[in-house]
């Protein structure tokens, strides 16, 4: 058998509760500071200026898109007109070729005298 005095006896020391000198808790203020009339006026004016700038940017973008569309249409018309001009120049050169003029002259009964031919350049 074990002797009963084999268990160690512990002395319980009382806890020292000391109060701190400074309060370490941070208190959060939940109330908000009211805005003055000047601050409200500045905020309203700034909001209106930002809105006007946003509207002007969007309207400028729309105007730019319209201008690009019109430019594309004009360029397309220019290209079409240039193609028609090239076709007409080619047709003029075909109609005024020497061999065609000789054929037309033979159909009408005209003959060409080589001595009376003069070349005129523009």
pLDDT in tens, 43-93: 999 999 999 999 999 999 999 999 999 999 999 999 999 999 999 999 999
The tokens for 20 are: 């701190």
Position 64 scores a pLDDT of: 98
**Is the whole model's pTM more than 0.75, yes or no?**
no
- The contacts of residue 111 (CB under 8 Å, 6+ apart) are 105
pLDDT classification of 10: cutoffs 50, 70, 90: low
Structure-token match 């569309």, residue found: 69
The encoded tokens of residue 6 equal 């084999």
Confidence of residue 100 (pLDDT cuts 50, 70, 90): confident
């Amino acid at each position: 058998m074990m002797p009963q005095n084999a268990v160690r006896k512990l002395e319980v020391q009382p806890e020292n509760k000391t109060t701190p000198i400074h309060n370490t808790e941070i208190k959060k203020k939940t109330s908000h500071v009211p805005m003055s009339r000047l601050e409200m006026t500045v905020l309203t004016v700034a909001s209106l200026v930002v809105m006007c700038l946003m509207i002007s940017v969007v309207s400028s973008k729309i105007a730019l898109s319209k201008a690009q569309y019109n430019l594309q249409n004009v360029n397309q018309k220019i290209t079409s007109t240039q193609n028609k001009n090239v076709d007409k120049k080619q047709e003029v050169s075909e109609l005024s070729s020497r061999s065609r003029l000789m054929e037309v002259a033979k159909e009408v009964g005209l003959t060409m005298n080589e001595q009376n031919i003069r070349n005129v350049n523009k």
